Structure 1
Amino acid sequence: MKSAYERIAALADLRGLSGRENAVGEAAAEQLRQYVPDAAYRDGSVIAHLGQNPAKPTLLLCAHLDQVGFLVTGITPEGFLRIGAVGGIDHRLLLGQPVTVTGKGGTYPGVISILPPHLLTGDQAVPEDAQLCVDLGFASAEALADKVVPGDAVYYGTTCKKLQNQRMTGSALDDRCCVAALLMTAEILADAGDLPCNVTFVFSGQEERSGRGAKLAAANESADEAIAVDVTFGLAHGEDPHECMTLGKGPAIGISPVLSQELSEALTAAAKRANIAYQLEIMNGSTGTDADSLALAPEGCRAGTVSVPLRNMHTPVEVIDMVDVAETAHLLAEYAKGCGAE
């Protein structure tokens, strides 16, 4: 059996920009088929059904496949790549970062560069997309003609690494750690025998830009309840503990005007029943997750969120506690086994 680190890293080290999730989607579908045979990647998302009994209610569990990154927007005469962000990226940590460009001629390593510090003014301390470029080592635009073109994808960061105390870092833990959590959930439920509900697994595409995958799932998959499983802001140095979740203290159960209060309370009861550590994440507006789309299913659907605390979101060095991922899987499995969609 794979360790939590191996399972998460196997997914997080794959490249899958919003709208280009193919490699991640195929890999996740292959793993999910071990527990849910009809798992398939199509139209940008993975869909799988553990039970399709019309007499039972249906619980939908959703985590997204895509990651943030960049697209090549142009090439300078000197051979530098102009780039534009896909998703909300923290630009403070980008300077000097290694990147990988997936071009039509292959995969090319590079680095992000900018004007030297002595040429930057005070209000340029945090660079904008227009100030960034990628240096692949080519000396002219002509040298790139059959290799990289505008529209090609650019990924920052390197492979995952273990840290101390069951923690790990990587550049696409949002939201691959939650895809891994749902794979763990599927493994538990596949061995649980007859469940009181059907469980539909969705690994959605394009959450970071349009929410397309979740919107299609809400329209096409008839669910009574849906839980978006995503990351949330983890407490880091200098941050307000009232505004962030703490790593290592369990998954965060969301409370929001968008979400079903009854579902949030039922998730909390399931955590208490199974002695699973949990936190409450209070949001006074929308959740910023696929739950916002799932809650608008045409036939009506109670929506909830269960989130893994993550530091340094949308940077090359995201950090999670692997225990939180495992406890997320156990909480979701306990909920499905104990009551499911009521």
Structure 2
Amino acid sequence: MNKSIVIFFLADLLTVDAGAQAINQTVNNGVISMSITPGVHGGAISSLKFGNVETVDSFDQGRLIQTSIFFDAGQETGVYVPCANATLPQWLNPQEGGDVCGNPSPTWGGDAGAIESGEVNVATTPLDWSAAGVRPAGFQIFGNHKIGPLPYMNSKYVARLLYTYKSTTQSINPLHYLHWNTPNLVPYAPAMVFRASVLNRLYGLSMDGMEWVDVTDSVSTHGDNASYYRFKAMAWATPDTINDTSGWGVAVYGGWTLSQTCAGPVVMELTSQNGQCPNYSASSRILNTASDGHGISALNLLDQTLPVIPVAGSETLMPHIVVGNLDTIRSIVNGLYSQGY
């Protein structure tokens, strides 16, 4: 990751006026359109269109495109208020979109970027997914997202996401290991939930950046269970994607996850990847509650590198979204990788 670019954006984000309310923002470069609608979906990306085709499932606050983090419950928050029939878990899962009862996470600041900048900006005090009104004390997420062309990638088929996590009152300890001795493969940076009527074929790009592998038949279709993979990039694609130049898809790429290690062993979906630490999880479900009335295709970029965030400290993760046919996506991903992203 290019540290000079991160420092520039980080300094800009952390000086946002906390008294302002985030506004609806949309940017469009003629290829990608990206939107945030804070009053409805908090600080999450609620729309990502390619060629005017909506790809995002925005049925509830747990879908969308957003960063999602877990940490131990008990010390980071005061009162935990379960909502509906929610069960008190052993962790908190603050996320940009909001909670399971449909309350959007409060946002503040984050005006649109300069004209023609292609940027959307939002600062979020995230609600915990499992409870209504719970705000993990002192935890904030800043989003600064820019569609291409980027300073380091002259293409309209790419978008740079920038997530900055900040703590104002207490240390935040990311939960990398669950209480029943299972690695907790979070944060999701980002979690992406697509419309299955649009994107329903899953591909992984080999670590050398040469070959796409169709893994559609391996992906979990059972409830909230996910399949774990290790690839250079992964993409959900349209059903007519049968080779590198047919159809199109949406991929997520995070170069810093390519060499990460896990806190313990993980059951990988592909036997050829046994013993490795995944950097992606994916699932596919038929749901009549989906935005398209059909189903969802989920893809999460998994991060195992986020450290403890001290009081007044912050950490930043910078993934990229790439759209187009598989050949276009591969070229852009390899270009990002060659420049250290």
Q: Same fold (TM over 0.5)?
A: no
Which structure's relative contact order is higher, taking Cα pairs within 8 Å and 6+ residues apart? 1
Structure that is richer in helix per residue: 1
TM, length-normalised to structure 1 = 0.31
Using the size of structure 2 for normalisation, the TM-score is: 0.31
Which protein shows a greater Rg? 1
Please state which structure has a larger fraction of its residues in strand: 2
